[in-house]
Amino acid sequence: MSTANLRKWVGFCFIAIYLFVGVPLWYKLTTVYRASLPINYIESLQNDKFQDIHLVIPVYVKSDTYRFPDIHDAVQVQVNHLLNSKEQRVPWSLQILPYNETVQNVEEKENQFHVVTLMLDEFIGYTSAYDTKETVVYYDDAAVLSNDLPFFVAQTLVEHTFQLEWTHLNKTNEDVSTNNQVAISYDPNIHLSITLLSGDGSPVAWEIEPTLTDYFSPFRKFLSPLVNFTVDSSIVYHNDLNLHSLNRSSANVTWFDLSHTIDLSELSSMTYYPEDSALNLAIVFPSVSSTPNGLAFVNGTRIANSVIALDWNSYLVPQWGVIIINKNPLQPNSVISEDYLEPMMYRFSTDIFHLLGLTEGSQELLSPYITIDSFKRLTILQNLDKAIETLWSLVKLTQQFQGMSIPREVSANVVEALDLRLEIIDLLNDPEKGGDIVWNNALRLSNELVKLCEKAFFNGEMVQQNFFPQEHMIAVYLPLLGPISAVLFFGFYNVMKEKNEVKNETEREAAKEKTELEEAEKLHAIDGEDEIMG
């Protein structure tokens, strides 16, 4: 093979490697990995978030005096009629079933169902039990005769027992959540920080440990299906939350003055706890030096059915916790007894219900079990809503930012979340399931679902390439690929050109020879012929 041909082949090889190996490799290595997401499914869920949900709550009817064999069917008709009267945003219904021995067997302390007990009395009315999930409907003989009983039961159930669902799940209510300005957003793990603040530096002690064991531990356990509290306590000296700057002698200190005076910055240290949410209880004693006669605006807390008033006021700080301001400063070396802390625990427990969003404003908590049960269901729905919202945000972002990478992990999380969602919906929709265990389980799963969706959304790898503008890309690639490409292409061009030049030269030489020959023929001056002829 001639040198020219060899050069040509080498040139071709370089170009071929450049084009068929280099370019695909570069493309592969620099392409942002974008795993596929079930975009259409998520979009359809976003358009109608509760499309596949039909919340069914089983309610058992029990009658002690009379036997009504078909009362559950009759109540069911009335309940359906009543529920249909309002347009529902989240479809829900009650499944009225007769109370029998099987239910009795399934029911335990930890797994209660909603039960309606019909009781013959002289008047018509209802009560909800304070310590169970039972609703008692009183009726008289006249109601039985006029066949009004099913309607009474249905009305009691829908408008009273399931009042939270009735108000929050219809079309007029925009949001599923019971959240208001005071309550923190729901989180299954909440840190509780209890602090004793003293305006002075003299040592004080408090019996917080026995108080918490005696009062707060049972309360924690009571709320444990809903929220898991972790508690810490501490004493802070030389801090009265800036109360000394208030006009102490004035009794006219309003909440507005307090809002602008109280400085909670030292207590808002939620970043030091592993939990995402935190609530605080601050028990403040003013300083002896600045307030020897106590704070005039603290007018004490009255106790029901008693003449005694306690020397402190409590204040609710929205989404933060509770401040208890004591009227008098602490004497040096005081020990705050459990008896003194006990009423505070009572007040705080009631406030926790506000802060969690279980009760609003001055609303009474008349039947805690039923309220907690409804709250669980609303929280599950709220979690489902939140999960879809998060997934939809994820989809929107990935579509908007084409340069954003989508790791395989995100896609796996999304798929897992969607499966989990269906699992939860199965639990909600099943009319046979509706005991405490089922709701607790569904709540736990829905919390997992929210976590999974957040994990997908906040994946750390999705930041890459996002802050990498086009100019930067050119700035990086040009010095790297520019010289290689330039050398290769110009070299190849050169080789091609060389070959052509060689070819042209040969052709030119051949043509030249041919012309010379022709000219010689014309002149009959070809030596050979002369010689032959001669």
What is the footprint of other proteins within residues 170-199 (CB under 8 A)? 181-182, 185
240 forms part of the interface with other proteins (CB under 8 A)? no
- Quote the crossing angle between the two packed helices 408-429 and 39-47, to the nearest 10°: 40
Taking contact as CB under 8 A, which single stretch among the options 2-10, 82-90, 343-351, 422-430 is the one that binds other proteins?
343-351
- Identified binder of other proteins from the candidate list 12, 222, 477, 490, rule CB under 8 A: 222
119 forms part of the interface with other proteins (CB under 8 A)? no
209 forms part of the interface with other proteins (CB under 8 A)? no
* Residues in region 466-505 near other proteins by CB under 8 A: 466-467, 469
| Three-state SS at 119 | strand
- Name the residue nearer to other proteins (CB basis): 92 or 392: 392
Instruction: Name the residue among 98, 92, 103 with its Cα closest to residue 75.
Output: 98
Beta-carbon contacts of residue 248 (< 8 Å; ≥ 6 apart): 286, 290, 291, 295, 296
Would you state the structure tokens that stand for residue 499, as one six-digit string? 């070959």
345 forms part of the interface with other proteins (CB under 8 A)? yes
- Identified binder of other proteins from the candidate list 143, 310, 388, 418, rule CB under 8 A: 310
Interatomic CA distance for residues 176 and 388, integer angstroms: 14
- Return the number of other C-beta atoms located less than 10 Å from residue 321's C-beta: 25
228 forms part of the interface with other proteins (CB under 8 A)? no
- Return the number of other C-beta atoms located less than 10 Å from residue 53's C-beta: 19
Q: Are 239 and 286 in contact (CB under 8 A)?
A: no
- x/- mask, other proteins, residues 358-387, rule CB under 8 A, reads ----x-xxx-x-------------------
335 forms part of the interface with other proteins (CB under 8 A)? yes
- Name the residue nearer to other proteins (CB basis): 130 or 493: 130
- Name the residue nearer to other proteins (CB basis): 259 or 289: 259
330 forms part of the interface with other proteins (CB under 8 A)? yes
Interatomic CA distance for residues 354 and 418, integer angstroms: 32
316 forms part of the interface with other proteins (CB under 8 A)? yes
Taking contact as CB under 8 A, which single stretch among the options 214-222, 376-384, 493-501, 515-523 is the one that binds other proteins?
214-222
Query: Which residue reads 């709220």 in tokens?
Result: 382
Interatomic CA distance for residues 214 and 191, integer angstroms: 19
Please report how close the Cβ of residue 324 comes to other proteins at its closest, in angstroms: 9
Interatomic CA distance for residues 503 and 497, integer angstroms: 10
- Name the residue nearer to other proteins (CB basis): 213 or 250: 213
237 forms part of the interface with other proteins (CB under 8 A)? no
334 forms part of the interface with other proteins (CB under 8 A)? yes
What dihedral do alpha carbons 434, 180, 397, 420 form, nearest 10°? -10
